[in-house]
Amino acid sequence: MSLTQQVLKGNRLALSRLLTLVENNSPEGRAALAELFSHTGKAHLIGVTGSPGTGKSSLVNQLVLQYRKMDQKKVAVIAVDPSSPFTGGAVLGDRVRMRDLSGDDGVFIRSMASRGSVGGIAQTTAALAQVFDAAGYEIVIIETVGAGQSEVEIARLAHTTLVVEAPGLGDDIQAIKAGILEIADVLVINKADRPGVEHTERALRSSLELARPVSRVYHHGQAMTVKAHKPPPNTWIPPINKTIATDGSGIAKVIESIAKHMQYLRTSGEWNARERARLRSETEALVRDTLMTQFLEGLPEGAFESALERVFSHSLSPIEAAQFLAQTERPQTPRATKEQP
Ligand SMILES: Nc1nc2c(ncn2[C@@H]2O[C@H](COP(=O)(O)OP(=O)(O)OP(=O)(O)O)[C@@H](O)[C@H]2O)c(=O)[nH]1
Ligand SMILES: [Mg+2]
């Protein structure tokens, strides 16, 4: 039986091996992804992001426990650590916090360290999520540290994004600075057992209001802005949920918010729109890669490098270089064939 067939049959060891192949972007991994694609499109991808130490892993642990208790859905967790070149530390910490999940065959946890570019992380995460989706994991949770661009990329991948805050973390909401609030579908204030929860909640609410559409009215001849009384129908306003991830308080409400968001995505047509946008940009990126490879392979040996040298010395602009290369006469046979003995 092939590796992909074993994965589809639910073999965990095969799944683990395939995830490694995919993470390393190996040819076998890419071939397997292509084979598995027709089995994907069913999973609910949930992103969990927020500043370091807000309790994301603890929260994910609780969410998984709850999903398992509720309706026995298979749940996968991808823990992404964009800041660290090694998984070591993160894995150890997360293992402790997610130990309640070990021994459950319906749960699979995978840690991933960053490799190079931001686009790389998002692409690899997407690929791993596809494998889990094909393997029948109905819920795929992606945990990532809120550190900037990579979260936005990963949020674009997730259907529902949870942004986790905690009271007293250097306030007034690191999230706003990082622009992370804009990607939130559900807001979670974790560590609700700590002082300062009300303050965090107020700050979050006011920044949410700021983001909401306003209308202008005139009062005694003076222009005033007021909040629109009712948001236009079919807009999603991120709910704020308070949790204590260490004892599970408030988790049921978060699950409810996630379910409501899912329902909103389905009824508003947003689910389809997101899926199409995601698949389109993935396809476009691959077309670009393919064309680039074909283009470079078709050029005479060294033509690209020598054009680049002229760009470096500013005797040719990048646009001129591209035009020049596009017009360069191509050898009849591809270089690879010509070079063969
Ligand atoms: N008091 C309290 N502590 C919590 C709560 N949730 C998590 N913690 C603790 O906060 C610390 C960090 O929790 P993690 O779950 O590792 O946080 P994280 O956001 O995943 O951290 P990174 O992945 O390192 O960014 C741990 O010591 C947890 O036990 C909570 O609700 N209340
Ligand atoms: Mg963590």
Interior angle at CA 288, CA 116 and CA 285, nearest 5: 60
Over the chain (341 residues), the average pLDDT of each successive run of 10 is 95 95 91 96 93 89 92 90 47 52 83 61 88 97 77 81 85 55 90 92 82 54 58 81 96 97 94 88 87 92 95 97 92 56 53
Give the span between the Cα atoms of 265 and 256, in whole angstroms. Answer: 14
Q: What is the pLDDT of residue 217?
A: 53
Residues with CB under 5 A from ligand 2 (ion): 56-57
DSSP secondary structure string for all residues of 5-62: HHHHTT-HHHHHHHHHHHHTT-HHHHHHHHHHGGG-S--EEEEEEESTTSSHHHHHHH
Q: Is the dihedral of CA 113, 118, 122, 128 positive or negative?
A: negative
Distance CA(249)–CA(56), nearest Å, equals 14
Q: Which helix (H) or strand (E) holds 217?
A: strand 214-219
Question: Measured over all CA atoms, what is the biggest interatomic distance in the chain, rounded to whole angstroms?
Answer: 89
Residues at CB less than 6 angstroms from ligand 1: 52-58, 93, 97, 145, 190-191, 193-194, 244-246
Q: What is the CATH number of domain 40-269?
A: 3.40.50.300
* Rounded Cα–Cα distance for residues 322 and 51 (Å): 42
Distance from the CA of 295 to the center of ligand 2, in angstroms? 43
Q: Looking at residue 334, what is its pLDDT?
A: 55
Ligand 2 centroid, distance to 56 Cα (angstroms): 5
Residue nearest to atom 21 of ligand 1 (CA): 53
Whole-number pLDDT of residue 94: 52
Residue 58 Cα to ligand 1 midpoint, Å, equals: 6
Lookup result for tokens 């650590």: 81
Whole-number pLDDT of residue 91: 46
Q: Residue 1 CB: number of other CB atoms within 10 A?
A: 10
Q: What's the token pair of residue 15?
A: 């799944």
Which of 312, 272, 281 lies closest to 41, judged by CA?
Answer: 272
Q: Which of 211, 196, 122 is nearest to 165 (CA)?
A: 196
Reduced to 3 states (helix: H, G, I; strand: E, B; else coil), residue 336 is helix
Q: Among 48, 51, 57, 80, which is best to mutate for testing ligand 1, by the most ligand atoms less than 8 A from CB?
A: 57
> Nearest-CA neighbor of 94 among 45, 132, 68, 58?
58
User: Which of 60, 141, 246, 253 most suits a substitution to test ligand 1, by most atoms within 8 Å of the C-beta?
Assistant: 246
Going from N- to C-terminal start, the domains of the chain cover 40-269, 299-338
The CA distance from 324 to 169, in Å, is 54
The dihedrals phi and psi of 152, each to the nearest 5 degrees, come to -65, -40
Quote the pLDDT of residue 29.
Answer: 93
Nearest residue to 33 (alpha-carbon basis) of 140, 127, 126: 127
With H, G, I as helix, E, B as strand and everything else as coil, classify residue 273.
helix
